[in-house]
Amino acid sequence: MQLQQLITFLGNHWILFAALVMIIALLIHNLLVSGKGSVDPAEATDLINHRDALVLDVRPASDFAQGHIVGARNIPMNGFKKQVGTLHKHKGRSILVTCRSGSQSSLACRQLRKEGFEAVHNLRGGVLAWQSANLPLSKKKG
């Protein structure tokens, strides 16, 4: 009897069921694909301090000037594809990419991987997560 009720419920509310399936699929995709190569602030400090990672900040220059990870290099997303060539000398090095919240930097990571960079890491949560972890920001030019 319960199976029949479930089938009836799904038939009457198929749009809600389809939305649920879509949300679950997107969550799984996000966990499996988008999380690839992302690191939290603690893992990022390990990359910087022990693996000499290049920190690449893809926020606009005005945001970068307000505060960035010490030693970071700024290449804003609006001209990123054109400037990727300037990074080829760092191809064998770990690269930590950051932005405000982690979404723009994930796009930059994807672009770098297309260009053949292998050790590319996205700072999960971006500079906001960095600040939440009480880690220092600098206003000096990187």
What pLDDT, on the 0 to 100 scale, is given for residue 140?
Answer: 84
On whether both 46 and 21 belong to a single domain, the answer is: no
Active site residues: 99
pLDDT digits (tens, 9 = 90+) for 24-83: 988 887 666 555 688 999 999 999 999 999 999 999 999 999 999 999 999 999 999 999
Mean pLDDT, rounded, for 77-94:
93
Average pLDDT, the chain: 91
- Other residues' Cβ atoms within 10 Å of the Cβ of residue 90: 16
Across the beta sheet with 73-74, what order do the strands follow? 38-39, 120-123, 95-98, 54-57, 73-74
Residue at token pair 């690449």: 56
Residue at 108 is within a domain: yes
On whether both 63 and 45 belong to a single domain, the answer is: yes
pLDDT digits (tens, 9 = 90+) for 105-139: 989 999 999 999 989 999 999 999 999 999 999 98
Residue 27 structural domain = 2-33
On whether both 69 and 96 belong to a single domain, the answer is: yes
On whether both 111 and 45 belong to a single domain, the answer is: yes
What pLDDT, on the 0 to 100 scale, is given for residue 30?
Answer: 66
What pLDDT, on the 0 to 100 scale, is given for residue 50?
Answer: 95
